[in-house]
Amino acid sequence: MDAPLARVQHCPPAETGGFACSLYSGLSKTPKEIACKFFYDDAGSRLFDRICELPEYYQTRTEVRLLKHHAGEIAQLMGSGVEILEFGAGSLRKVRTLLDAVEAPRAYTPLDISGDYLGQVARALAADYPALTLRPVVCDFTQALEIPELPGTPRRMGFFPGSTIGNFKPDAAMALLRRMRASLLGGGLLIGVDLVKDPVRLHAAYNDAAGVTALFNKNLMARANRELGANFDLDAFAHYAPYNAAAHRIEMYLVSLKRQSVSLCGRVVEFAQGEPVHTEDSHKYTIESFREMAARAGFNPRAVWTDEERLFSLHWLESR
Ligand SMILES: C[S@@+](CC[C@H](N)C(=O)[O-])C[C@H]1O[C@@H](n2cnc3c(N)ncnc32)[C@H](O)[C@@H]1O
């Protein structure tokens, strides 16, 4: 029998669109850029899931281990009968550890910009947790978030794993944390943050031998070809992801391998040979620098868990 269909809400649809406008305006700038939230259509979300399985990508493995190891403590901190609101929920795999540990979770509200994929993974989760109120919301969490309260107003706890916070420059990250705090209505936030480490290890994680991260990066152009009828030649761009040690971040680019013109929504974009298009940053923090930022965003940083090699960190932030 089919799983009950988790009804996906769109909040509001216009804010998840705008790919064509954003792409054209980003490629008209100097230097050129494409916003990283557009990585995630169905194909991009599936490529990201493949990245999570790569031997070089220590982040997912380490965070999952931390979650499993500290699930009991985390469940105590969250309390019973809560609603878990997950930002940028992706495959919904990590939350299962929380749903299994928390006493009588009342509801789970995953938010993600990748609508088709969210619908599919929510359907699978609904089958495994039939008693849970599940309300997936397709939205851009960088915009104003108004998630209606549930009857009985269960306490709301936030979950923001995967170090997605690292994709924002520090000022934008702080603004995002503030908005998240407001949407949690006084509840705490469990957040996964990747740590500053050996640049060689970081470089390997974003330049995997199998080339999956390169495919993920190029999905921005592949998506434009699929959705907007653009004519990007994917072989004429190279994935480039250096570590900027001074700024503590991996920077991701697509570099034009030749002088070329691409047509996009009836217009032409010119690329010089060697011209980079910036597609993503992935900022790394120390435990202390992240706790300072969380405090400036209005949280009280409480428990923090890390692994023996200090590769990754999980922070429990209380709302002030
Ligand atoms: C780095 S992945 C992390 C996925 C998952 N949380 C994990 O830990 O494996 C980032 C996720 O956030 C979503 N996302 C990125 N930008 C977003 C935005 N502006 N609004 C909502 N979701 C977004 C993506 O679709 C993707 O599922």
* pLDDT tens profile 186-200: 999 999 999 999 999
pLDDT, one tens digit per residue, over 109-162 is 999 999 999 999 999 999 999 999 999 999 999 988 889 999 988 999 999 999
- Decide if pLDDT at 316 tops 70: yes
Q: Quick one: pLDDT at residue 18?
A: 87
Q: Give the residue among 70, 64, 65 at the shortest CA–CA distance from 90.
A: 64
pLDDT-derived band at 55 (thresholds 50, 70, 90) equals very high
What band does 224 get if pLDDT is binned at 50, 70 and 90? very high
Which residue has the CA at smallest separation from atom 3 of ligand 1? Answer: 162
What count of residues does the chain have? 320
Give residue 267's pLDDT band: very low, low, confident or very high (50, 70, 90). very high
From the CA of 93, give the closest atom in ligand 1. Answer: 9
Is the C-alpha dihedral spanning 207, 208, 213, 217 positive or negative? positive
213 lines ligand 1 (CB under 6 A): no
- Overall average pLDDT of the 246-270 stretch: 97
Q: Nearest C-alpha to atom 11 of ligand 1 is from which residue? A: 88
Q: Nearest Cα to 47, choosing from 222, 168, 194?
A: 222
CA nearest ligand 1 atom 20, residue: 140
Backbone angles phi, psi at 46, to 5 degrees: -70, -35
pLDDT at residue 6, as a whole number: 61
Say if residue 129 is exposed, middle or buried (CB neighbours under 10 Å; 0-12, 13-18, 19+): middle
Q: 89: CA distance to ligand 1 center in Å?
A: 6
Of all protein residues, the one whose alpha carbon is nearest to atom 6 of ligand 1 is 89
Query: Is any atom of ligand 1 closer than 6 Å to the C-beta of 280?
Result: no
Residue 77's Cβ-count burial label (10 Å; 0-12, 13-18, 19+) is middle
pLDDT at position 8 over 80: no
- What is the Cα–Cα distance from 317 to 3, expressed in whole angstroms? 35
pLDDT at position 104 over 90: yes
Please name the amino acid found at residue 273.
Answer: Q
Closest atom of ligand 1 to 60 CA is 9
The larger pLDDT score, comparing residue 10 to residue 80, is at 80
pLDDT digit string (tens) for 278-296? Answer: 999 999 999 999 999 999 9
- pLDDT at residue 275 greater than cutoff 70: yes
DSSP classification of residue 14: G
* Encoded tokens for 137: 């919301």
